[in-house]
Amino acid sequence: MSTAPETERSVDPRDVTAEAPVLEARGIVKRFGHVEALRGADFTVRKAEVVALIGDNGAGKSTLIKTLSGVHAPDEGELLVGGRPVRFSTPVDARQAGVETVYQDLAVADDLSVAANLYLGREILRTGPLGRLGLLDKRAMRRGAAEALSQLGVRIPRVTTPIAMLSGGQRQSVAVARAIIWATSVVILDEPTAALGVVQTERVLDVVRRARDAGMSVVLVSHNMPQVLEIADRVEVLRLGRRAARFRADEVTTDELVAAMTGSLVTEKEDR
């Protein structure tokens, strides 16, 4: 699949001891007609960390996310997974590389059960000839779903309930859990709590923490600064299609984040 040549990995001077980032974007350019949505954007996710991606409206967040998840192919720049260059032409390519994405509204099929949603596109079939006929092993899927959800602390009445019967928070938790279960390296969450109340938000964030503690890397797109500081390990700020600043979450204030988003605080070099 990958046609890009193996390149010498440029090492971040401030973090020489770290192993290769699980997911890295370098100098991504993406144009839509005459509009340059990304103008050499960089992005880095390391193992077992929650990285928040923030930026003002129009900064290029969603374009970057779609590039990372295989929806858009970049015009320039490269993506690396575990240090190896990759090329995603479809969302399926990204998923095969271990990158799972939860989109705001497109996450789940309302009419299917929780278990069916968790296994959608990856159904467990019966063994033997029946399986070759496409016969589902529903029991195995129910069991697997119940196990995975309890590990992540997602509480729902039963895995056979249709998604449409769940509350918004439960629904989003299932969507996030689904991504976490199948991701092997990175989960990207696009505004996962935008439509949720306080209690429901806390539940979803709890699922995110557990995933991080289990060694998963999480990219979180959010507008909510206190929430970002509460859950993220690091924050990367996108401005005008480029990375404008990087912070450790425990060393930064909301004001500094806002300053970075509006351009009055820059930690990155203007030119590469």
Bin 159: left if φ > 0, else alpha if -120 < ψ < 50, else beta.
alpha
CA–CA gap between residue 244 and residue 229 (Å, rounded): 18
The minimum distance between CB 159 and other proteins, in angstroms, equals 10
User: Any contact of residue 143 with other proteins (CB under 8 A)?
Assistant: no
Considering only 12, 165, 197, 253, the residue that binds other proteins (CB under 8 A) is: 165
User: Any contact of residue 154 with other proteins (CB under 8 A)?
Assistant: no
The minimum distance between CB 19 and other proteins, in angstroms, equals 29
CA–CA gap between residue 209 and residue 92 (Å, rounded): 26
Considering only 162, 184, 240, 258, the residue that binds other proteins (CB under 8 A) is: 162
The residues near 49 (Cβ < 8 Å, ≥ 6 apart) are 212, 217, 218, 233, 234
Q: Which two tokens stand for residue 90?
A: 């479809």
Question: Which of 68, 64, 62, 21 is CA-nearest to residue 45?
Answer: 21
Nearer to other proteins, 27 or 162 (CB): 162
CB 189 within 8 A of CB 102: yes
Considering only 1, 10, 34, 133, the residue that binds other proteins (CB under 8 A) is: 133
The minimum distance between CB 91 and other proteins, in angstroms, equals 5
Q: Which two tokens stand for residue 134?
A: 């496409």
Which residue's structure tokens are 């480029």?
A: 242
Nearer to other proteins, 107 or 244 (CB): 107
Nearer to other proteins, 26 or 203 (CB): 203
The minimum distance between CB 123 and other proteins, in angstroms, equals 5
User: Any contact of residue 103 with other proteins (CB under 8 A)?
Assistant: yes
Nearer to other proteins, 107 or 261 (CB): 107
3-state SS assignment for residue 262? helix
CB 118 within 8 A of CB 103: no
User: Any contact of residue 252 with other proteins (CB under 8 A)?
Assistant: no
Question: Which of 18, 20, 40 is CA-nearest to residue 29?
Answer: 40
> What does the angle CA 102 – CA 209 – CA 22 come to, to the nearest 5 degrees?
65
Nearer to other proteins, 177 or 232 (CB): 177
Torsion over CA of 202, 150, 232 and 238, rounded to 10 degrees?
A: -90
User: Which amino acid makes up residue 130?
Assistant: L
Nearer to other proteins, 76 or 105 (CB): 105
User: Any contact of residue 4 with other proteins (CB under 8 A)?
Assistant: no
Considering only 104, 151, 167, 224, the residue that binds other proteins (CB under 8 A) is: 167
Nearer to other proteins, 108 or 265 (CB): 108
Considering only 166, 211, 220, 228, the residue that binds other proteins (CB under 8 A) is: 166
| Interface residues toward other proteins, by CB under 8 A | 91-92, 95, 101, 103, 106-113, 116, 120-123, 125, 133-136, 138, 158, 160-162, 164-168, 171
